[in-house]
């Protein structure tokens, strides 16, 4: 049996952090060695799994010699820099799903990739990865003859809009049609407007209740519409994808990697796609 990968979780008290912690005890290939929260948090010193004999507690610092191969970051834009710096300092692979990053923080990811393996994704759902593939293929076939709108819906507490996933989907569609999102993205409509320009990609944002995450890509043409929708009913789907990525990233050389690469590698281990899918979703 392959040994378990030692992992550090940064942002352990957040929604995604808690989802990851709920799944880790079910995984034999992941060994969580630290669950980090912000200094002064009420979680510091509390047991990670109160109903288990494991002695792991939440902390805000790392022991100098604590061995770990991967740092998983699900914090926020304000804490992201500290997470990335820690991964670089400890020479760990960095797997992050933190969204709302600035251009400077995105550049820091590229700089870090010269020293450590880096995988950042706006969404770790395997279904969203498939959604992106289908949207790209549709964009290539339909071109600018079809108008594109991207709608994302999330819970009332989400602060960035559009979501990181919506932006990533928009960029993928724009690239497939030979544009950049900066050229064709439209992020607000109000009052009297000019007629829609050819090739525009519009965004609409919904925030309310406890919606985990819904994304729709609408291709609207003359006399017909094509819609691709992914709805997440539990954050566990993102946690599974993040753990899959963390396991795959362990031991890799410095550079930028994608969730698609991790998923493809998992599927290639089996000639039967159904068996492979059951492995991904366990």
The catalytic residue positions are 154, 158
Quote the CA–CA distance of 170 and 174 in Å, as a whole number: 6
Instruction: Say how many residues make up the chain.
Output: 282
4, two tokens = 């378990």
Q: Are 94 and 9 in contact (CB under 8 A)?
A: no
162, two tokens = 């559009």
56 sits in the region (left: phi over 0; alpha: psi -120 to 50; else beta) called: beta
Using alpha carbons, list the distances in angstroms from residue 14 to 1, 5, 17, 137, 205: 32, 22, 5, 35, 22
């Amino acid at each position: 049996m392959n040994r378990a990968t030692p992992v550090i979780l940064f942002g352990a008290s957040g929604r995604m952090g808690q989802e990851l912690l709920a799944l880790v005890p079910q995984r034999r290939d992941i060994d969580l060695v630290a669950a980090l929260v912000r200094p002064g948090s009420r979680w510091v010193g509390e047991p990670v799994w109160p109903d288990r004999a494991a002695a792991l507690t939440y902390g805000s610092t790392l022991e100098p010699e604590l061995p770990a191969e991967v740092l998983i970051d699900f914090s926020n834009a304000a804490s992201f820099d500290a997470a990335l710096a820690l991964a670089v300092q400890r020479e760990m692979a960095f797997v992050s799903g933190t969204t709302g990053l600035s251009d400077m923080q995105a550049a820091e990811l590229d700089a870090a990739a010269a020293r450590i393996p880096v995988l950042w994704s706006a969404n770790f759902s395997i279904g969203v990865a498939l959604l992106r593939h289908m949207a790209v293929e549709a964009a290539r076939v339909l071109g600018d003859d079809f108008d594109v709108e991207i709608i994302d819906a999330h819970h009332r507490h989400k602060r960035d809009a559009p979501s990181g996933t919506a932006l990533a989907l928009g960029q993928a569609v724009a690239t497939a049609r030979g544009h950049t999102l900066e050229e064709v993205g439209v992020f607000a409509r109000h009052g009297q407007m000019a007629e829609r320009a050819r090739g525009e990609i519009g965004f609409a944002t919904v925030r309310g209740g406890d919606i985990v995450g819904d994304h729709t890509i609408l291709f609207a043409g003359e006399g017909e519409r094509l819609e691709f929708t992914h709805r997440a009913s539990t954050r566990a789907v993102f946690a599974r994808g993040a753990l899959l990525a963390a396991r795959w990233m362990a031991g890799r050389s410095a550079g930028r990697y994608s969730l698609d690469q991790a998923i493809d590698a998992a599927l290639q281990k089996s000639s039967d796609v159904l068996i492979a899918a059951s492995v991904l979703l366990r």
